[in-house]
Amino acid sequence: MNKIQIGENAGIVWNKLKDNRHWEYEDLKSATGLTDRDLNAAIGWLAREDKIDFDVNEHGDRIFLTVNIFIG
């Protein structure tokens, strides 16, 4: 695994998240076809860039796209 592959996987995840759905981890894993390791690295990349957020329901964490608006 390298930074280029992690970035490409982050793009795959981001494209799934842009439907504004709150995804369960296993559903996102299935939809992207990524392994746990690759999906977790991609989620970490997007979280570090402040592009995703998490909420919790009775089944655990759900992942969704964060829209950041900067007014300058």
pLDDT value, residue 7: 96
Domains and CATH numbers, the chain: 3-65 (1.10.10.10)
DSSP letter string over 11-67?
A: HHHHHHHTT---EEHHHHHHHHT--HHHHHHHHHHHHHTT-EEEEEETTEEEEEEPP
Summarised one tens digit per residue, pLDDT across range 43-61 is: 999 989 888 887 777 766 6
Summarised one tens digit per residue, pLDDT across range 17-29 is: 888 788 888 999 9
In this prediction, residues 3-29 reach a mean pLDDT of 90
